Structure 1
Amino acid sequence: MSGQSPTRPKLSEVSDCENVPVIDLGCGDRSLIAQQIGDACRDFGFFQVINHGVSKEAVEQMLGVAYEFFNLPVEEKLKLYSDDPSKTMRLSTSFNVKKETVHNWRDYLRLHCYPLEQYVPEWPSNPSSFKDIVSNYCKEVRQLGFRLQEAISESLGVDKEHIKTVLGEQGQHMAINYYPPCPEPELTYGLPGHTDPNALTILLQDLKVAGLQVLKDGKWVAVNPYPNAFVINIGDQLQALSNGKYKSVWHRATVNADKARMSVASFLCPCDTAIISPPKELIDDASPAIYKNFTYAEYYKKFWSRNLDQEHCLELFKN
């Protein structure tokens, strides 16, 4: 099924997702972690992680400085505004302004984060602590992403370095999303249904205000925030690398009538020249390769040239 939906969210039809997998990365049992992650990637396409190694201080400071940034005067923020997706640092309001019929109820600051020394100089210098706090958060989240990729490799029955090797020198982006209170939440999205074009997304949710919803068995379900957890979702590249065993999940963000909501999404992406192709262990007569080999640059170009809520972009790369 595609994530295509009417252009309004039908919030009354959304139920809570009761059994979201919550995986304790600090439990010490590597094979159990790999098994739980494999089950979650196959059945849900996403999961939450606790005891993940990103310090509580880094998380609290990140959310704090994000609120400080979005509370700056409008004219200060407007200096950073652009709807050109090729810019490596920009403030914007919608995913694809030129193609949407209903614009999104969010502001977001999009940053490229790796290599840090290349991108940090162009980041906002107001608030004054922004560059230091966000740099530190980016480093910790990157390490978590690599640990998760190792566990995902193990869950597929291949060498733990396999995914990291295929993806090459991974890029890293961040979207700091601010969803203001919305007087008519039924009329718009914070972000419409989509899959992520990258490899892995690490989402920090605001604990006080829910908003993330995923498509499970053809129905939208709400993923309520869990204390001190990140939501991890599989991007299109890992669906292709797993030969379709793992799902890149359709997800969306809704807005709230009386409360603002903040989320921080970190994305790990293959290098542009990485050739996305499943390991030979996952291909046999019973499971032939589903997708053609492609580079990440080819994929990304195709992803951005279409409407966000069209059919899954991976469908365009099927054998």
Structure 2
Amino acid sequence: METKNVLSSGTKYSTLPETYIRPESQRPRLSEVVDCEDFIPVIDMSCTDRNIIVHQIGQACLLYGFFQVINHDVPKEVIEGMLGVAHEFFKLPVEEKMKLYSDDPSKTMRLSTSFNVKKETVHNWRDYLRLHCYPLDKYAPEWPSNPSSFREIVSKYCMEVRQLGYRLEEAISESLGLGKDCIKNVLGEQGQHMAINFYPQCPQPELTYGLPAHTDPNAITILLQDLQVEGLQVLKDGKWLSVKPQPNAFVINLGDQLEALSNGKYKSVWHRAIVNSDKARMSVASFLCPSDCSIISAPKALTEDGSSAIYRDFTYTEYYNKFWSRSLDQERRLKLFKKVYT
């Protein structure tokens, strides 16, 4: 099977193609996954006491690196529209979708399969549409014109999610004892990307991944999950735990940049996506990223107690180049930026 053949072509497989089969030591061991209903904290953003929200987000970042938010002010119709147009896109004829196909990760819009097929030895059971989203007036005109409503619906969603991301960054900043704008100021004029993920039915899900274990390279990730099919799993205390989707909720996780900015207090946590033998799954991941020239450095307030800075200063461009130079499931890139003390 050529990697250029997208999985959402409608082809039905009775067995997994060889290029997607993981070595036995790298398989997901699905029987060992813990199905924990209340694992990820659910934070109600409508709480009238901001101190409670800040405290809850701080505790979630400290203990889990993941949380879900409800009553987040992103309109329900915007969320439903986003999921609807995502399903419409992946139902298009394969010939139409293939017009957007590329293996070049530097492209600002591309349909691809797996993660970085030029670096991988085993591919991932996923198709995705990758979009740059900010500034919208620069990137949206490049987006698909089929479905006809795609650009309008996705643009509305991107604007709403960006504002939610800002509110979350303010609360995270306050939870660290910093001014509410501190993290936003360090990150600069943040970039915004999106991955619309489609995980087709898989004949042998125990042999492969939708996405293998990884941490996110960006600052913060806002994930919209398919309510019908679970797939996201998070590593906690050496065990993989399944994250149950909540109605009208977003899953939030910290990326490597916020771990560095928090001087290691908050963690960018290993997570993965598994696939399903009965149903396809859809998810929409939005990523807020530092501006390319922002210097990622822990604020002085986090080292005034005499503790040392864990990571050396670096730019997001420097970090991102390291990220794309390797396959997704190699060792954490953030380790490469640790300070060496003599």
Instruction: Give the 3 Å change call, closer, same or farther, for CA 285–161 of structure 1 in structure 2.
Output: closer
**Residues 7 and 102 in structure 1, CA contact (< 8 A), matched pair in contact too:** no
TM-score, length of structure 2 as denominator length = 0.91
Name 2:41's counterpart in structure 1: 21
1:187-198 maps to which residues of 2 (within 5 A)?
A: 187-198=207-218
Equivalent residue for 2:252? 232
Counterpart mapping for 1:204-243 below 5 A: 204-243=224-263
- Residues 215-259 of structure 1 show CA distances to partners (whole Å, capped at 9, x for unaligned) of 111111110101110000000000000000000011110000010
Mapping 1:161-180, distance limit 5 Å? 161-180=181-200
Alpha-carbon offset, residue 311 of structure 1: 1.6
Give yes or no for the alignment of 1:247 onto 2:262.
no
For structure 2, the 5+ residue unaligned runs are 1-23
C-alpha contact (below 8 Å) 2:39/2:243 kept by paired residues: no
SS at match of 2:81: helix
Q: Secondary structure at the match of 2:166?
A: helix
Provide the C-alpha distance between the structure 2 equivalents of 1:190 and 1:142, rounded to a whole number of angstroms.
26
Q: SS at 1:79's partner residue?
A: helix
Distance (whole Å) between structure 2 residues aligned to residue 72 and residue 168 of structure 1? 38
Secondary structure at the residue paired with 2:26? coil
Q: Distance in 2 between matches of 1:280 and 1:6?
A: 43
Residue 307 (structure 1) shift? 2.3
Q: 1:1-319 counterparts in 2 under 5 A? A: 6-17=25-36, 18-284=38-304, 286-319=306-339
* DSSP 3-state at the match of 1:47: strand
Aligned-pair CA distance for 1:310: 1.6
Counterpart Cα distance in 2 of 1:62 and 1:200: 20
Identity over aligned pairs, percent: 77
Q: 3-state DSSP class of the match of 1:256?
A: coil
| Deviations 1:105-149, CA, capped at 9 Å, x for gaps | 111000000000000111000000000000000000000000000
Please give the alpha-carbon distance, in whole angstroms, between the structure 2 residues aligned to 1:80 and 1:20. Answer: 36
Amino acid at match of 2:88: E
Q: Read off the aligned partner of 1:73 and give its amino acid letter.
A: P
What is the total number of aligned residue pairs between the two structures? Answer: 315
Two-structure CA RMSD over aligned residues (Å): 1.0
Report the Cα offset of residue 303 of structure 1. Answer: 1.0
User: By how many angstroms is 1:100 displaced?
Assistant: 1.8
CA contact (8 A) 2:193 2:288 kept: yes
- Larger Rg computed on CA atoms: 2
Q: Tell me, in whole angstroms, the C-alpha distance in 1 between the residues paired with 2:327 and 2:77.
A: 38
Letter in 2 for 1:155: S
CA distance in 1, matches of 2:307, 2:80: 45
- Give the secondary structure class of the aligned counterpart of 2:336: helix
